[in-house]
Each structure stands twice: as C-alpha cells, then as structure tokens.
Amino acid sequence: MKADSKYAAVLFDLDGTLISNYVAIHKCLAESFGEFGIPAPSYDSVFHTVGGSILITIRKLLKPLGAEEKADAVAKRYLELFPRHIFDGLSTMPYAGELLAELKRRGFKLACFTNKQQDGAEPILERTKLLPYLDAVIGTTLHSPRKPEKAFTESALKILGVSAAETLGIGDSPYDYMAARVCGLDSALVATGGDSSDFLKAECPESVGVFSDFRELAESVFGIAL
C-alpha cells in the first residue's frame, strides 16, 4: 500500500468520469429509436439518464413512451450502430490524464471499471491516450453483470489482485457509489456527469467526498497537486 495513501488501487468509471462520450451515445440512441418508430430522445434527457448501462438507459427512456418491451431490440441495434459514431464528440475530462499519470507513477493499480460495453470502452481509452495508464479495462456485454451488482465489483478486485479495503472507486453517479459500497470499497465522486453535486451528496452519504473535478479530488484524496 502507498505510504502516503490508504489506497493501493483505484477503479475509475468511464462515461462522465474519465471521458465524455455523450454525443455518440445520443446519436446512436436517436438512430436506433428512429428505426423502431420511436421518437428520438433529446440530448439533455440522454445526458441525465446515462450511467446504469445502455440497456437500463434505454429502458428509462422508453418507459414514459410505454415502449419498454422494445428495450432489448433497441439496445441490440444501438450496439450495432455504436462503432459508426464511437469517436463523435469524444473528449477527455479535465485533469483525467494528469491524475492517471501521477497515480501510475506512484505505483497504484488502476482500472477502468465501466458499465459501457467492453468493445466500446477499450478503443475509446486508446483514442484518448488513457489506456497506457491502466492495468485493466473491465466492461460489460449486453446482459453481463454490471454496476452495482456485487459480482461485477468482485470480478474487478480479482482482476487487479487487490482487497476492498485498499481500493477506491471513483465515478460520477449513484451507480458508481453503490458498486463500491456493495463490496465495502470507499467511493469518491466527481460532479462531471449528469448528476449535480447536491444530488450526489444526498444520494451517496457515505462517500469520501463529492468533488467538482479531478483536480479537487486529487488534492483532497491523494494529496496530489495537478
């Protein structure tokens, strides 16, 4: 374990935490909804719904339309369309690269721990030049375990070869918080996704903190000045 930290490993969420991929997600949802004759969701509604996995996102968006029974078919089509738009509007969150680089330099084990599909997460991390800092990329398939299921978090700890007590989960939503807490991990949150700081503080009362960005988190949690 690091001499200057209680943690030896960090599990980072992807969408809304390390990167912004909302433009591509919205485009693929709009196209897939349209192919099934369903009104396309707005960008804002997508931005505030993403987090639980694409299938959960689609179910939430379809529920007010009374079309939840189409969720599996729409999600399958979404995944087929995603490679066309995967890099559209893609950007790295402020200070993400700097924080990963410094944690890597200090010997932390680092993983991207995401509800995004595995074959989408890896090329995104490669394009944003974040992949070399990571020891593992732990993603999903359409119906595989996902946050906040205990088995998914347990698999991440096993892959990294670390214990819950020495691992911090970092994300931008209650899904990330619950995924950490279900196995006894500490959780830190950044209000860089679709949920506000006030919402995260209310929904995630046992987090080590809710921060405006990685720069604030780095200083408070790791004593790192970015």
Average pLDDT over residues 184-211: 97
* Total count of domains within the chain: 2
Residues 6+ away with beta carbon under 8 Å from 151: 145
Instruction: Note whether 102 and 205 are same-domain residues.
Output: yes
Instruction: Note whether 194 and 123 are same-domain residues.
Output: yes
CATH code of 168's domain: 3.40.50.1000
Summarize the chain as % helix, strand, coil (round to 5). 50, 15, 35
In a 13 Å sphere around the CA of 126, the CA atoms on its Cβ side amount to: 7
Domain contains 2: no
Instruction: Note whether 97 and 116 are same-domain residues.
Output: yes
Cβ of 211: how many Cβ atoms within 10 Å? 22
Give me the domain span that covers residue 69: 22-85
The answer to whether the predicted template modeling score (pTM) of the entire model surpasses 0.75 is yes
- Average pLDDT of the chain to the nearest whole number: 95
Instruction: Note whether 67 and 105 are same-domain residues.
Output: no
Instruction: Note whether 16 and 27 are same-domain residues.
Output: no
Domain contains 175: yes
The predicted-structure confidence for 53-101, as pLDDT tens digits, reads as follows: 899 999 999 999 999 999 999 999 999 999 999 999 999 999 999 999 9
CA distance between the termini of the chain: 22
Instruction: Note whether 95 and 75 are same-domain residues.
Output: no
